[in-house]
Amino acid sequence: MAIFQRLSIGALLVVAGAGAGVRAETTSALQLTPHPVVLRQDDNSTRTQSVYTTDGAAFLQAAVGQLPEPNKSIVRLMLDYPRNGEHSYWWPKGVSYDGSTTDVIVNGVTMMKGEPGGRTFCCGLTLEVYYRYAALKPALAAKLAADPARFKKDWFCHNINSPGPLDALVAAGAGKHITDLDKALPGDFVQLWRNDKSGHSVIFVNWLKDATGKRIGLQYWSTQISTNGIGFASESFGTAKKQINPNHFSITRPTI
């Protein structure tokens, strides 16, 4: 079947040159060769199946020029990070640190302290990316620097199943909830929770699809054990312990 050789990657994008206040949305014409990922029948899948996704870096490099802001700048920042294990994943028990690769300073305020070894955890890395973006926008930087403790607390999730970036960005007047999954774009921030109550803070790259083109999960960028730190990974929705619970899954787009 043709779908095994080539898969059309659809994403709703803003078309440059649309009239003021008018959003002309279209399906991307990107055609990238997918590679198969086998999900086994264990904690991560309810059945063994082959699913299809794209090379994360190649997809982002091809898509970035078509994305609206702020997504375009966020994706460019993501692509700047090394994916060779230089910043390994570290989620220690009994140790408190910010999870960023380095000190993060916005508007003269130190927002995050980097771990000496450059190690990371998920919400620390995604927040670092957002702060790096905010540093490019003086008005936004000043807004966030006014109460960094609250913003960070919201982003890091108050409780299990909290939406993290959604709470932080909406409270700051700097983001919106994307409820129509078809409108998700690379560079959107995602907070996912699995059925076993474990969570992950990630940045959206693309949807994970089966051989029929049905959306069954997502491809994302973050830091995790499976990629030895910063890298691209995929997870599916479902009822198994380690699968994503779709009822506790949120997508947030920065708006400033």
Q: Report the run of H or E that residue 71 belongs to, with start and end.
A: helix 71-80
Q: Over range 78-89, report the average pLDDT.
A: 98
For the stretch 95-130, pLDDT in tens is 899 999 999 999 899 999 999 999 999 999 999 999
Domain ranges of the chain: 68-254
Quick one: pLDDT at residue 39? 73
For the stretch 172-210, pLDDT in tens is 999 999 999 999 999 999 999 999 999 999 999 999 888
- Give me 138's structure tokens: 């003086």
Residue 41 has a CB neighbour count (10 Å cut-off) of: 11
Among residues 200, 199, 237, the alpha carbon closest in space to that of 218 is found at 237
Q: How far is CA 38 from CA 5, 41, 49, 53, 230, in A?
A: 16, 10, 6, 11, 21
Q: In degrees, to the nearest 5, what angle opens at C-alpha 38 toward C-alphas 32 and 42?
A: 145
Specify whether the CB–CB gap between 104 and 85 falls below 8 A.
Answer: no
Spatial separation of the C-alpha atoms in residues 245 and 233, rounded to whole Å: 17
